Structure 1
């Protein structure tokens, strides 16, 4: 099922949906309405599709710290990602002072 938002009044399966109303439809039905220009993906569908940014890898974090000239206290090759994130935050705080 896909949530779409009516861009105009739509009659579907004997029911009338008003402009702006969200409708739950089968994917092929939703695609047909979107293609016809009478519906767009609904708010709920858009929220579900929000893709969270991937967390940076340890290597990316270390490269970022190096590019900023940060000195990371107590960080070595065995350090966990969370430790690196904390060390970067601490180094940035020191750098601002």
Structure 2
């Protein structure tokens, strides 16, 4: 068994991104992003606090990862309701610009 190589992501303190078994599966981090996005939030700042505490990343990084994730067909297969909702919100915002 060999030691893992250097982490290609300098922001390696993110939630684990190792894929779950099967090359066609989402990573643990990607699943955590979708799970957090499915939740409802009590008030202002609650979601941002959860992002920092549960995922260990900044809200800006969270939205960067989430926006890339909703383009991934694997995410659509895992959570079509959340991914389609996020795509609709994104498309509506683009239409207003």
Question: Which is richer in helix?
Answer: 2
With normalisation by structure 2, the TM-score equals 0.26
With normalisation by structure 1, the TM-score equals 0.26
